[in-house]
Amino acid sequence: MVVGEFTTEVDVLVIGAGPGGYVAAIRAAQLGKTVAVVEKAELGGVCLNVGCIPSKAMIHASHTYDHAKHTESMGITMENVKVDFAKVQEWKAGIVKQLTGGVAGLFKGNKIQVIPGEALFVSENEVRVFHGYDVNRYKFNHCIIATGSRPIELPAFPFGKRVLSSTEALALNEIPKSMVVIGGGYIGIELGSVFARFGTQVTILEGSDQILPGFEPEMIRLVERRLKKLGVTIHTKALAQGMEETENGVNVKAEVKGEATSVEAEYVLVTVGRRPNTDELGVRDIGMKLTDRGLIEVDEKGQTSIPNVYAIGDIVAGPALAHKASYEGKVAAEAIAGHAAKVDYKAIPAVVFSDPEIASVGISEKEAKDKGLNYVVGRFPFAANGRALSVNAGEGFVKLIADKATGLVLGAQIVGAEASNIIAEIGLAIEMGATLEDIELTIHAHPTLGELTMEAAELALGHPIHVLNK
């Protein structure tokens, strides 16, 4: 039975309150628009509730535990270091609650209406929102679709008690004794590392010839070395084929480099990618253009084939990154408000919170070579940085790529402690058209990891101070 059906008119309707949707809504409200947001679950979306934020909290907790067990080299010995996993989960939940509550406060302060439920397009300027037995209609002048994505489920590994997506893995109430991770991308490596540091015997099955495909092999080698020290078994060129449930878990059947093998574990974590949430919106029924993968086709403003409807985040082309979605959300809101806004992806960073962290922005050395560019490289090691050594983080390097003739910064790759933070300076350099000399002449505080960027620029210019010029 449907109870009531009323029609409400809004200026801008945002569907989805994740890092793309809530940012788009706030920016549109700042620009004088009347905004309403439809959200079927929790404010903050996957990122704040079951993705970016809780995973990073778990990563930090696992590092804290691991560090506490290995401080002898600094003359500090800790005995009986234990994990109360229930309290770890409680602490993580507190962070999530604080941040999602913050989004609710921002919505209230910006006079943004929250509409609980699921939206279905009925025309180019109207949706029906289903919430329990209630169905209401909302007419809009403009709409921004920001429905995000969900984990891909493999037919041979249906999600259930023993087969987990990242969502269920982050909600486990105990530390598994063993786990098979199918997929060695950033989610698999991050979560696999978390459980390995907590003591889980982890096996990673990755179909490509290296984990974290897309990053340069010289970066990945350091991550692999650290994983192996944690006791993680890594199988590349591995195809997971099926499983059999056992009394205490599962037996995973796989083909590794052409040979049949099997791995027994308590749980299987499937991290083989994410699927865009566009299949239940009714967008095809109103004539919106989508790709074969279900991604919505948009222009440089985020505008779909229906002029008053925009789409952002995981449901459009490009990497499924929260910061990309937020950026696109601001562009779409500004375009709706009549500003000359359009996307520019030349300085969008990619970060993996592995151990050590890896980050990149702009183009890689391989891309520069493939494009036939006349470039120069500055590769400076963490081992020559005083701050890195003083915090026991001497592994890794910062690599800058720049145009040889002009010194214009084109890209960077970092592997090492705090790579996720260091990359921001280089992203700014690319965005503003800075040169190696600009970075070199910027006075960096000492002793800091930030100096690595300056030192890499000096090296690329041919006059490094803290390493010999080869």
Three-class DSSP labels, the chain: CCECCCEEEEEEEEECCCCCHHHHHHHHHHCCCCEEEEECCCCCHHHHHHCHHHHHHHHHHHHHHHHHHCCHHHCCCCCCCCCCHHHHHHHHHHHHHHHHHHHHHHHHHCCCEEEECEEEEEECCEEEEEECCEEEEEEEEEEEECCCEEECCECCECCCCCEECHHHHCCCCCCCCEEEEECCCHHHHHHHHHHHHCCCEEEEECCCCCCCCCCCHHHHHHHHHHHHHCCCEEECCEEEEEEEECCCCEEEEEEECCEEEEEEECEEEECCCEEECCCCCCCHHHCCCECCCCCECCCCCCECCCCCEEECHHHCCCCCCHHHHHHHHHHHHHHHCCCCCCCCCCCCCEEECCCCCEEEEECCHHHHHHCCCCEEEEEEEHHHCHHHHHCCCCCCEEEEEEECCCCEEEEEEEECCCHHHHHHHHHHHHHHCCEHHHHHHCCCCCCCCCHHHHHHHHHHHCCCCCCCCC
**Separation CA 212–CA 415 (nearest Å):** 13
Which of 70, 131, 339, 446 is flagged as catalytic? Answer: 446
Q: Would you say 335 and 378 are in contact if contact means Cβ atoms under 8 Å apart? A: no
One-letter identity of residue 344: D
One-letter identity of residue 368: A
Q: Does 427 carry a binding-site annotation?
A: no
Q: Does 344 carry a binding-site annotation?
A: no
Q: Does 327 carry a binding-site annotation?
A: no
Q: Would you say 194 and 58 are in contact if contact means Cβ atoms under 8 Å apart? A: yes
Q: Does 149 carry a binding-site annotation?
A: yes
**Separation CA 292–CA 143 (nearest Å):** 23
Q: Does 407 carry a binding-site annotation?
A: no
Q: Does 420 carry a binding-site annotation?
A: no
Q: Does 105 carry a binding-site annotation?
A: no
Q: Does 152 carry a binding-site annotation?
A: no
Residue carrying structure tokens 């620029």:
457
**Separation CA 124–CA 140 (nearest Å):** 9
Q: Does 220 carry a binding-site annotation?
A: no
Residue 356, beta-bridge partner list: none
Residue carrying structure tokens 């790759």:
413
Residue carrying structure tokens 């400076």:
380
Q: Does 273 carry a binding-site annotation?
A: yes
Q: Does 396 carry a binding-site annotation?
A: no
**Separation CA 59–CA 353 (nearest Å):** 8
Q: Does 287 carry a binding-site annotation?
A: no
Q: Does 430 carry a binding-site annotation?
A: no
Residue 444 falls in the annotated catalytic set? no
Binding-site members are: 56, 147-149, 183-190, 206, 273, 314
Binding-site members for NAD(+) are: 183-190, 206, 273
The residues that are catalytic are: 446
Binding-site members for FAD are: 56, 147-149, 314
